[in-house]
Structure 1
Amino acid sequence: MKNIVIGSGPAGRLGSLELGKLGEDVTLIEKNHIAGTCLNEGCMVICALTDITKFIDSNKRFNDYGFIKSQLDISYEKIIEKIVETQEVLRKLNQMENESFGNNIIYGEASIEDDIVKVNNESFEYDNLLIATGARPFIPDIEGKEFGLTNKDILKLDEIPEKLNIIGGGIIAGEIANIYSTLGSEVNILARSTFLKEISATTKKYVLEKILPEVNIYENTNVVEAFKDKVLTDKGEELEGTPFFATGRTPNSEIAEGFVELNQDRTIKVNEMMKTNVDNVYAAGDVTGGYLLTPVARMEGITAARNMAGYGNKVSYNCIPQTLSLNMEVSFVKNEESSCTDEDKSTIGIPGIAGPSSFWNILSGDTGYTEVEFDKKNNEINRINSISPSSVSDVAYISYLMRMGYDLDDYSEFLEIHPSTDSNYKIIKNMWL
């Protein structure tokens, strides 16, 4: 069967890989660069820059302790140059991986006309089609919006902005603030409602006091006009600094308009098999809305591919682990399907004093914090917010156990590898205090 995949981000790339593994005929069409937003403009760029800021943070701590004396000379231009070099290597590897399964990759902008996919003046028929065209930054319709930067512009900057106004209050806003405040920018965050509503109040308090102490937070504040070097708020304040929009994303669904059914927010409407209202057409990743996360996009792409190949598969969004990439990671997960009442809830808070990369944080008291909410009636974990150098792996591991419906008593046999999973062990040990 002929399968066409439009878009090579996490959903399309993993979907085409899965189809290739299953022995299917695959043509993958990509408009720009393979691996999509994640590698080329999004989370991989954020992670690369955050690796630098973690080093800067550690260097400062070691200098404060007095056993290392060093002065860093940071070249933002060279950092960007090396990120781009690394991206080029990864693009080649991603293409080689896809082609190793016999998949055909075409670069060009695709269109869909009368059940035919057209690209580079060629027409392709298909038995199954997967639309995985992703999303792009959403920019609110305010005067001066053309002056605003987005994540797409990070690799185009010539230097570190002296002052930065980040418009938005979600995870991306927090990550951008962490990067540029560590690099030396004076950073303001302007949130339309509250900042970091995704995490608990206690976790947010730790982030503001310990990780982002130099970032100025303006909550319940709207930007009404943007300029090249300042913004104007609805409270009459003029804040100096380059505007940076971190105001969410909008789907690249134009290719599907009039072809498949769209939701009110213009995302492509799919069922739990990632199928659209057209029998042989599927969609996956950010273009379908929901969790705009690389692992979720991968999961959706693989689910779509299996269904396209005739292997029935459904997607589940319960207990999705997430993280906020800062100088110390903040990870969280919630059991969305829990029926736990307030009477059955019990919460413990655990100061972080163990785990990898934690030793040299102890003297400064920046060792993290974990908050776990339990369902006493069903003896299960309901929610976790964790701040620690190992929170990404800790929460991913525990989210799997939550998804599988493990009873708390099942966790008692966990054996840690010291110190790599000590924090995980500490969470588990505290369940029986």
Structure 2
Amino acid sequence: MKNIVIGSGPAGRLGSLELGKLGEDVTLIEKNHIAGTCLNEGCMVVCALTDITKFIDLNKRFNSHGFLKSKMELSYEKIVEKIVETQEMLRKLNQMENESVGNNIIYGEASIDADTVTVNNESLEYDNLLIATGARPFIPDIPGKEYGLTNRDILKLDDIPEKLNIIGGGIIACEIANIYSTLGSEVNILARSQILKEISDATKKYVLKHILKDINIYENTNVKEAFKNKVLTEDGKELEGIPFFATGRTPNSEIAKDFVELNPDNTIKVDEMMKTTADNVYAAGDVTGGYQLTPVARMEGITAARNMANYPNKVGYHCIPQTLSLNMEVSFVENEKSDLSDDDKALIGIPGIAGPQSFWRILDGETGYTEVEFDKNKNRINRINSVSPSSAGDVAYLSYLMRMDYDLDDYGEFLEVHPSTDSNYKIIKNMWL
């Protein structure tokens, strides 16, 4: 059977790879660069820059303690050059990986008809189609919006901005703020409501006090107008700095709007098997909305691919772990099926434990913070918020145990790697069990 995949981001790339591994005939169509937003203008770029800011933060800490004397010179131009060089290497590897299972890759902009996909003036018939066209930055319709930067512009900057106004209060806004503040910019965050609503109040308090402490934060603030080097808020504040929009994402669903049913927010409507309302047409990744995370997009792409190859399976979104990539990671997961009363839950929170990447934070009282909420009746973990250098991996494995519905007694046999910086095992094994 002929399978066509449009879009090579995490959903399309992993979906086409899965189809190829299953022996299917696959054509992968990509408009720009293989690997999509994640590698080329999204989380991989953020991670690359955050690696540098972590080093800068650590260097400052060692200098402040007096046992290291160093002066750093930073070249943003060189950073961008090396990020682009790395991206090019990874694109080649991603293409080779897909071609290694027999997949055909075409670069060009696609359009869809009832039974065919047209690309580069060539019409291709298909038996199954996977739409994985992703999403793009949403820019609010305000005067001067053309002056605003987005994540797409990070690698186009000539130098580090002297002043930056980041409009938005979510994860991306705070990650960008952390990067440029550490690199030397004067940064403001302007949030329409509250920032970091995804994490607990205690965790947010820690992040603002110890990690984002050099950033000016304006909550419940709407931007009225943007200019080249300043913004004007509705309450009359005039803040100098280049505007940077981190106000969410909008789906690239135009390719399918007359072909499949869309949700009210213009994402493509799919069922648990990632199937659209059109026969033999599937969709996956950011274009379908929901959790706009690379691991979730991969999961959806693989789910769609297996169904296209007649291996029925369904996608699940229970206990999805997430991370805020700052100079120290902030990771969290919540059992969204649970709605506990105050009598049914117990909450334990303690400072982070000294260990790798955390020992030298003790002198500043910045070792991190971990908070775990328990379901007392069912003896289960309900929610975790963790600030530590190892939180991304720790919360990932704990989220798996939550999805598998393990009893807390089962954690008694868990053996952690020592030394560890995280408090999860201490809370679960030593304080709760």
Same fold, TM-score > 0.5, yes or no: yes
Q: Which residue matches 2:135?
A: 135
Give, in angstroms, the shift of residue 430 of structure 1: 4.0
Task: Check the 8 A contact 2:350/2:423 in 1, yes or no.
Answer: no
Q: Which residue identity lines up with residue 32 of structure 1 in the other structure?
A: N
Q: Which residue matches 1:99?
A: 99
In the alignment, the residues of structure 2 paired with residue 244 and residue 105 of structure 1 have an alpha-carbon distance, to the nearest angstrom, of: 34
Give, in angstroms, the shift of residue 362 of structure 1: 1.1
Q: Which residue identity lines up with residue 149 of structure 1 in the other structure?
A: L
Q: Which residue matches 1:230?
A: 230
Q: Which residue identity lines up with residue 240 of structure 1 in the other structure?
A: E
In the alignment, the residues of structure 2 paired with residue 428 and residue 175 of structure 1 have an alpha-carbon distance, to the nearest angstrom, of: 29
Task: Check the 8 A contact 1:134/1:285 in 2, yes or no.
Answer: yes
Distance 1:110 1:282, change over 3 A: same
Residue 312 of structure 2 corresponds to residue 312 of structure 1: yes
Give, in angstroms, the shift of residue 359 of structure 1: 1.1
Task: Check the 8 A contact 2:231/2:238 in 1, yes or no.
Answer: yes
Alignment of 1:202-213 (within 5 A): 202-213=202-213
Give a deviation string over 1:106-165, Cα, whole Å, max 9, x none.
Answer: 000000023210000101000100000000000000000000000000000000000000
Residue 358 of structure 2 corresponds to residue 364 of structure 1: no
Q: Which residue matches 2:329?
A: 329
The farther-off stretch of 320-329 and 416-425 is 416-425
Alignment of 1:65-144 (within 5 A): 65-144=65-144
Task: Check the 8 A contact 1:211/1:327 in 2, yes or no.
Answer: yes
Give, in angstroms, the shift of residue 340 of structure 1: 2.8
Alignment of 1:380-399 (within 5 A): 380-399=380-399
Q: Which residue matches 2:278?
A: 278
Q: Which residue identity lines up with residue 223 of structure 1 in the other structure?
A: V
Q: Which residue matches 2:251?
A: 251
Q: Which runs of 4 or more aligned residues in structure 1 lie more than 6 Å from their structure 2 counterparts after TM superposition?
A: none
Residue 80 of structure 2 corresponds to residue 61 of structure 1: no
Does the residue aligned with 2:239 lie in a helix, a strand or coil?
Answer: strand
Does the residue aligned with 1:349 lie in a helix, a strand or coil?
Answer: strand
Give, in angstroms, the shift of residue 431 of structure 1: 4.1
Cα RMSD after superposing both structures = 1.0
Structure 2 unaligned runs (5+)? none
Give a deviation string over 1:238-270, Cα, whole Å, max 9, x none.
Answer: 000000000000000000011000000000000
Q: Which residue matches 1:14?
A: 14
Distance 1:339 1:236, change over 3 A: closer
The farther-off stretch of 110-119 and 187-196 is 110-119
Q: Which residue matches 1:192?
A: 192
Give, in angstroms, the shift of residue 339 of structure 1: 4.2
In the alignment, the residues of structure 2 paired with residue 195 and residue 115 of structure 1 have an alpha-carbon distance, to the nearest angstrom, of: 45
Q: Which residue matches 2:373?
A: 373
Q: Which residue identity lines up with residue 34 of structure 2 in the other structure?
A: I
Q: Which residue identity lines up with residue 265 of structure 2 in the other structure?
A: D
Does the residue aligned with 1:296 lie in a helix, a strand or coil?
Answer: helix
Give, in angstroms, the shift of residue 425 of structure 1: 2.4
Give, in angstroms, the shift of residue 432 of structure 1: 2.3
Among the aligned pairs, what percent are the same residue? 84
Task: Check the 8 A contact 1:372/1:381 in 2, yes or no.
Answer: yes
In the alignment, the residues of structure 1 paired with residue 237 and residue 339 of structure 2 have an alpha-carbon distance, to the nearest angstrom, of: 44
In the alignment, the residues of structure 2 paired with residue 190 and residue 423 of structure 1 have an alpha-carbon distance, to the nearest angstrom, of: 32
Q: Which residue matches 2:158?
A: 158
Give, in angstroms, the shift of residue 422 of structure 1: 5.4
Q: Which residue matches 2:215?
A: 215
Task: Check the 8 A contact 1:416/1:422 in 2, yes or no.
Answer: no
In the alignment, the residues of structure 1 paired with residue 415 and residue 267 of structure 2 have an alpha-carbon distance, to the nearest angstrom, of: 44
In the alignment, the residues of structure 2 paired with residue 41 and residue 298 of structure 1 have an alpha-carbon distance, to the nearest angstrom, of: 17
In the alignment, the residues of structure 2 paired with residue 237 and residue 333 of structure 1 have an alpha-carbon distance, to the nearest angstrom, of: 36
Give, in angstroms, the shift of residue 297 of structure 1: 0.2
Give a deviation string over 1:14-68, Cα, whole Å, max 9, x none.
Answer: 0000001111010000000000000000000000000000000000000011111
Does the residue aligned with 2:12 lie in a helix, a strand or coil?
Answer: helix
In the alignment, the residues of structure 1 paired with residue 244 and residue 95 of structure 2 have an alpha-carbon distance, to the nearest angstrom, of: 32
Structure 1 unaligned runs (5+)? none
Give, in angstroms, the shift of residue 198 of structure 1: 0.5
Give, in angstroms, the shift of residue 353 of structure 1: 1.6
Q: Which residue matches 1:29?
A: 29
The farther-off stretch of 14-23 and 337-346 is 337-346
In the alignment, the residues of structure 2 paired with residue 368 and residue 127 of structure 1 have an alpha-carbon distance, to the nearest angstrom, of: 52
The farther-off stretch of 420-429 and 160-169 is 420-429
Distance 1:413 1:297, change over 3 A: same
Task: Check the 8 A contact 2:332/2:385 in 1, yes or no.
Answer: yes
Give a deviation string over 1:253-301, Cα, whole Å, max 9, x none.
Answer: 0000110000000000000100001120000000000000000000000
The farther-off stretch of 346-355 and 256-265 is 346-355
Residue 72 of structure 2 corresponds to residue 38 of structure 1: no
Q: Which residue matches 1:242?
A: 242
Q: Which residue identity lines up with residue 83 of structure 2 in the other structure?
A: I
In the alignment, the residues of structure 1 paired with residue 421 and residue 161 of structure 2 have an alpha-carbon distance, to the nearest angstrom, of: 38
Q: Which residue matches 2:289?
A: 289
The farther-off stretch of 415-424 and 26-35 is 415-424
Q: Which residue matches 1:344?
A: 344
Q: Which residue identity lines up with residue 58 of structure 1 in the other structure?
A: L
Q: Which residue matches 2:171?
A: 171
Give, in angstroms, the shift of residue 337 of structure 1: 1.2
Task: Check the 8 A contact 2:34/2:91 in 1, yes or no.
Answer: yes
Q: Which residue identity lines up with residue 141 of structure 2 in the other structure?
A: D
Give the TM-score normalised by the residue count of structure 2: 0.99
In the alignment, the residues of structure 1 paired with residue 294 and residue 338 of structure 2 have an alpha-carbon distance, to the nearest angstrom, of: 24
In the alignment, the residues of structure 2 paired with residue 369 and residue 161 of structure 1 have an alpha-carbon distance, to the nearest angstrom, of: 31
Task: Check the 8 A contact 1:35/1:91 in 2, yes or no.
Answer: yes
Task: Check the 8 A contact 2:349/2:370 in 1, yes or no.
Answer: yes
Q: Which residue identity lines up with residue 98 of structure 1 in the other structure?
A: N
Q: Which residue identity lines up with residue 205 of structure 1 in the other structure?
A: K
Distance 1:421 1:231, change over 3 A: closer
Task: Check the 8 A contact 1:355/1:389 in 2, yes or no.
Answer: no
